[in-house]
Amino acid sequence: MSVFNYDKDADGIVTVTMDMNGPVNAMNGEYRQAMAETVDRLEQEEGLSGVVFASAKKTFFAGGDLHELLAVEKGQEEEFMAMLDTTKGVLRRLEKLPVPVAAAINGAALGGGFEICLVCNHRVAWDNRGVQLGLPEVGLGLLPGGGGIVRMVNLLGLEKALPYLLEGKKVPPAKALSEGMIHETVENPEDLVPRAKAWILENAGNDEAAVQPWDRKGHRIPGGNASSPKLAQTLMGAPAMLRQKTRGLLPAPEKILDCAVEAARLELDTALTVESRGLTYLATTPEAKNQISTFFFAMNRVNGGASRPQGVDKYQTKKVGVLGAGMMGQGIAYSSAMAGIEVVLKDISLEAAEKGKAYSEKLLAKRVERGRMSEDQKADILGLILPTADDKDLQGCDLIIEAVFENMGLKHQITRELESRLAEGGVWGSNTSTLPITQLAGASDKPDNFIGIHFFSPVDKMPLVEIICGEQTSDETLARAFDYVQQIRKTPIVVNDSLGFFTSRTFGTYLDEGVRLLKEGAHPVQIDNLGKAIGMPVGPLAVHDEVSLELTRKAGETHAELGVAGKWGEQEAMSEVVGTMIGEYGRGGRYHGGGFYEYSEDGSKAIWPTLFELYYQADLGIPEQDIKDRLLFRQVIESLKCLESNVLRSADDGNIGSIMGIGAPVWTGGFIQFVNTYGLQRFVDRCGELADKYGERFTAPAIAAEHAASGEWIK
Ligand code: NAD
* Percentage of the chain modeled with pLDDT above 70: 99
Residue 407 CA, closest ligand 1 atom number = 32
Q: Is the CB of 550 under 6 A from ligand 1?
A: no
**pLDDT bracket for residue 570 (50, 70, 90):** low
Q: Is 431 in the pocket of ligand 1 (CB under 6 A)?
A: yes
Query: Which CATH number does the domain housing residue 97 bear?
Result: 3.90.226.10
For residue 408, the CA-to-ligand 1 centroid distance in Å is: 12
In the three-class reduction of DSSP (H, G, I as helix; E, B as strand; rest coil), residue 433 is classed as: coil
Q: Is 454 a catalytic residue?
A: yes
What pLDDT band is residue 498 in, cutting at 50, 70 and 90? confident
Pocket test for ligand 1, best of 433, 546, 660 (most atoms within 8 A of CB): 433
Same domain, 552 and 616: yes
| 394 Cβ below 6 A of ligand 1 | no
Ligand 1 atom showing the smallest separation from residue 356 Cα? 9
Q: Does residue 510 sit in the same domain as residue 411?
A: no
SS3 25: coil
Give 403's contacts (C-beta < 8 A, 6+ positions apart): 322, 323, 324, 326, 328, 329, 332, 431, 455
For 388-405, what is the mean pLDDT?
97
Same domain, 234 and 324: no
The residues, ordered by sequence, that sit 6+ positions from 336 with a Cβ below 8 Å of its Cβ are 317, 320, 322, 343, 488
C-beta atoms surrounding 481 within 10 Å: 27
The reported pLDDT for the residue numbered 50 is 98
Any domain includes 293: no
Residue 406 Cβ inside 6 Å of ligand 1? The answer reads yes
- Asked if the model's pLDDT at residue 518 lies above 80, the reply is yes
Position 255 confidence tier, pLDDT thresholds 50, 70, 90: very high
Cα 407 to middle of ligand 1, angstroms:
9
Could you tell me the distance, in angstroms and rounded to a whole number, from the CA of residue 332 to the centre of ligand 1? Answer: 11
Query: Could you tell me if residue 85 is inside a domain?
Result: yes
Last residue of a domain, one of 576, 599, 623: 623
**Catalytic residue (choose from 67, 183, 219, 454):** 454
Question: In angstroms, rounded to a whole number, what is the distance separating the alpha carbons of residues 278 and 288?
Answer: 13
* Cα(413) to centroid(ligand 1), Å: 14
Confidence of residue 1 (pLDDT cuts 50, 70, 90): low
On whether residue 697 sits in a domain, the answer given is: no
Task: Supply the pLDDT for residue 569.
Answer: 60
Domain match, 544 and 493 both: no
Asked whether residue 79 carries a pLDDT value surpassing 90, the answer given is yes
Q: Do 92 and 212 have their domain in common?
A: yes
From the CB of 451, is ligand 1 less than 6 Å away?
A: no
Q: Would residue 692 count as lying in a domain?
A: no
By residue range, what is the domain housing residue 371? 319-498
If asked whether residues 587 and 562 sit together in one domain, one would say: yes
- Rounded to the nearest angstrom, the distance between the alpha carbon of 583 and the centre of ligand 1 is 24
Q: How far is the CA of 328 from the centre of ligand 1 (A)?
A: 6
For range 505-512, the mean pLDDT: 94
Domain co-membership, 383 together with 527: no
User: How confident is the model at residue 236, as a pLDDT?
Assistant: 87
In this prediction, residue 563 has a pLDDT band, given cuts at 50, 70 and 90, of confident
pTM of the model: 0.94
Q: Residue 337 falls within a domain, yes or no?
A: yes
Please indicate, yes or no, if residue 706 is contained in any of the structural domains: no
Task: Tell me the average pLDDT across 17-35.
Answer: 96
pLDDT level of residue 568 (50, 70, 90 thresholds): low
From 623, 655, 677, give the residue that closes a domain: 623
What is the tens place of the pLDDT at every residue in 137-178? 999 999 999 999 999 999 999 999 999 999 999 999 999 999
Q: Is the pLDDT of residue 499 over 90?
A: no
Count of helix runs (H) and strand runs (E) in the chain? 30, 21
Q: 83 and 211: one domain? A: yes
Whether 651 is covered by a domain: the verdict is no
**Last residue within a domain, chosen from 451, 469, 498:** 498
Tell whether ligand 1 has an atom less than 6 A from the beta carbon of residue 204: no
One domain for residues 345 and 470: yes
> Above 70 in pLDDT, residue 96?
yes
Tell me, using a 6 A CB cutoff, whether residue 414 lines ligand 1: yes
Report the pLDDT averaged over residues 558-576: 75
- Residue 531 in domain: yes
- 463 and 480, same domain (yes or no): yes
CA 297 – CA 650 distance, rounded (Å): 13
Q: Which amino acid is at 255?
A: K
Structural domains of the chain, count: 3
Question: What rounded mean pLDDT belongs to the chain?
Answer: 96
Say how far apart CA 129 and CA 175 lie, in whole Å: 10
- In terms of domains, do 196 and 71 share one? yes
Ligand 1 probe mutation, 390, 404, 501, most atoms within 8 A of CB? 404
DSSP letters for 516-573? HHHHHT--HHHHHHHHHHTT-SS-HHHHHHHH-HHHHHHHHHHHHHHT-TT-SS--HH
SS3 19: coil
**Can you give the CATH number for the domain in which 425 is found?**
3.40.50.720
Do residue 42 and residue 142 come from a single domain? yes
In this prediction, residue 230 has a pLDDT band, given cuts at 50, 70 and 90, of confident
Which residue minimizes the CA distance to atom 36 of ligand 1? 433
How many Å lie between the centroid of ligand 1 and the Cα of residue 412?
A: 14
Answer yes or no: is the C-beta of 346 below 6 A from any ligand 1 atom: yes
Q: Which atom of ligand 1 is nearest to the CA of 330?
A: 26
What's the start-to-end Cα distance of the chain, in Å?
38
Question: Is 658 a pocket residue for ligand 1 (Cβ < 6 Å)?
Answer: no
Residue 565 has a pLDDT of 65
CA–CA separation, 546 and 118 (whole Å): 46
CATH number of the domain encompassing residue 563: 1.10.1040.50
The mean pLDDT of 644-664, rounded to a whole number, is: 97
